[in-house]
Structure 1
């Protein structure tokens, strides 16, 4: 963020030129009842613009000096009109810089000085009286109300900008959490699969080398897959990268084939799905297969997808295994809570628990109504 010095010489110069030049025209028009401009008048006309130059660094003193010079100029009967440019600017600045109390006090003092000038100065013989007082009061009040309205608009705009920045930070945080969850699911599934297949290969390499070769081929495929998925997830960190899901149900057959488990995949119905629902369903199936690989290797698994009118039902059921999984004691225990969080984030539910001799995970993910 660029910092300013607190000085505004260009604006002060513009006001100085405007006051001096237009005051000369006012002097010609008021030559019959006002004093002509002299050295003192020009000096007083320049005090206000000088104060404008330093008004941001010294807002209250600058406003006080500018107004005082204007009072002196007015009471010395110099031509009126353009001399009030500088007071308008400094009072406006006070309001915008949140020195509202000082601004209203100075505006009140200015009103009192001008009314007193109308009654006791050279204008007392012009018979303006109440009309003059009301006109001056109305002008100053309207000006101060306008300044307050501008201040309110600026503050609301700044508040909206802060809210927008906060929303951007929140969305970025949610994206980071989503990417972290994606990485967890990708790594958990593929590393578990690699671990199980590596254990199988080591066990069979001497007596059944062909079966060990199959396990090693699965490890190769899984390691390639995890690298590809990690690249896909991490690409969202790059500027201009598309924010697309890294996995969808169109890749479910590949996921089942790589799992190394006897899986039956059933689909009931079909309809287009929102990307976030596809991603959540894919990850729920992936995590469920990972849990079977860890805790019940060799179990029969059924993956069923039911495309309903208002929801997608994902059901993963296994028959259980009498042999403890090689990774049954490993892991962080965040698999089911992570799946439940995915479902809850979409407004759905997830239930996981024993089913007969095995285990079942059932997720219900709401879907938007289908267009006619």
Structure 2
């Protein structure tokens, strides 16, 4: 409802507050100044209600309403009514002009307010210089406070805008990361499913037990694919937290499900940043996928070297004389995807033939260990 009222150009709550304040203060001031000022009558009450009405319509008619509020204040003073209550509306209207970005109009109307108050003081014979300085100081203080409030609000809005843009950027980067990881998971597991399905079909009559093992691997791989897809979709739809990201602690599970002859050697050990560990896992995963696709039956050696300044991941296969069942089905994005992932962390990746086989070597920079 508040947004609708703003679109229509109304400020009912502020106008109501100003009306109540002027009437209450007007009653008190009138009683306190009853010996020197005129008591409130219908005409005075009508003038006090002009200000709240001007506040109500100030968003739509800023100049007209501010002039009307100032005129009502001057007429209230000329009528001989109590000092105090009629000053509220002009002050509120001037502040609203500043806060809404109409600064030039606000300062011009502030100057008009100053001139009208000084003219009234001289008209009633109050020509004290200190009184004039007090009027000037009061109006200047009001405008300076309004400018300070406007500055604070603008800076806060700018900070919120920057924070919102940063949040959108981070969300976009997170979606890109999830898409890349989803690609890696799908590529690896679908390749694995294809290889194991081919094995099962080939052995289902001659060796049912080994075929059963291949089918069990297919079940596990398909379950992981479905789980990863569900996790990503939940994030995209609801912003729900993701399941734990794959890391090197799941490397043995990855190798077991791959069904390949894989040897893993670790040189050294140290804690790794999550993004580095995730990248290393995905590199091994993609390399195993490429080996299964292009060199089925080849032995694969995985070497992880934990250095002081970098983690080296080396995956090499011995090659295979048989053509890969999936050698023509790849998207061609495996190695470029690995290279982009490594480059994003400030590392390097080299991939190419090595003897009869193929080798992938990635170097991922590590932060210094803290004692």
Which position in structure 1 is the counterpart of 2:78? 75
Offset, 1:59: 2.8
Which position in structure 2 is the counterpart of 1:107? 110
TM-score by length of 2: 0.89
User: In structure 1, what is the Cα distance between the partners aligned to 2:311 and 2:246?
Assistant: 17
Which position in structure 1 is the counterpart of 2:349? 350
Q: Given that residues 229 and 246 in structure 1 are in contact (C-alpha distance below 8 angstroms), is that contact kept between their aligned partners in structure 2? A: no
Offset, 1:127: 4.0
Say which SS state the counterpart of residue 313 (structure 1) adopts.
Answer: strand
Which position in structure 2 is the counterpart of 1:84? 87
What are the superposed Cα offsets for residues 116-141 of structure 1, whole Å, 9 maximum, x if unpaired? 2222x11x2x441x222222111111
What are the superposed Cα offsets for residues 261-298 of structure 1, whole Å, 9 maximum, x if unpaired? 22111011112222222221111100011011111222
User: In structure 2, what is the Cα distance between the partners aligned to 1:105 and 1:76?
Assistant: 25
Say which SS state the counterpart of residue 305 (structure 1) adopts.
Answer: strand
1:38 aligns to 2:37 (yes or no): no
Offset, 1:69: 1.1
Unaligned runs of 5+ in 2: none
Alignment of 1:3-42 (within 5 A): 3-5=3-5, 6-42=9-45
Q: Given that residues 248 and 281 in structure 2 are in contact (C-alpha distance below 8 angstroms), is that contact kept between their aligned partners in structure 1? A: yes
What are the superposed Cα offsets for residues 330-368 of structure 1, whole Å, 9 maximum, x if unpaired? 221110111112222223222212222222111122223
Say which SS state the counterpart of residue 317 (structure 1) adopts.
Answer: strand
Which position in structure 2 is the counterpart of 1:169? 168
- Counting matched residue pairs gives 368
Q: Given that residues 295 and 328 in structure 1 are in contact (C-alpha distance below 8 angstroms), is that contact kept between their aligned partners in structure 2? A: yes
Q: Which has the larger displacement, 142-151 or 27-36? A: 27-36
Alignment of 1:214-233 (within 5 A): 214-233=213-232
Q: Given that residues 54 and 62 in structure 1 are in contact (C-alpha distance below 8 angstroms), is that contact kept between their aligned partners in structure 2? A: yes
Which position in structure 1 is the counterpart of 2:121? 118
Q: Given that residues 8 and 54 in structure 1 are in contact (C-alpha distance below 8 angstroms), is that contact kept between their aligned partners in structure 2? A: yes
Alignment of 1:196-211 (within 5 A): 196-204=195-203
TM-score by length of 1: 0.89
Alignment of 1:184-263 (within 5 A): 184-204=183-203, 212-237=211-236, 241-263=240-262
Alignment of 1:274-293 (within 5 A): 274-293=273-292
Offset, 1:154: 1.1
User: In structure 2, what is the Cα distance between the partners aligned to 1:133 and 1:32?
Assistant: 24
What are the superposed Cα offsets for residues 145-198 of structure 1, whole Å, 9 maximum, x if unpaired? 110111111111122222222222222222222222222111101111222233
Which position in structure 2 is the counterpart of 1:145? 144
Paired residue for 1:63, among 63, 66, 71?
A: 66
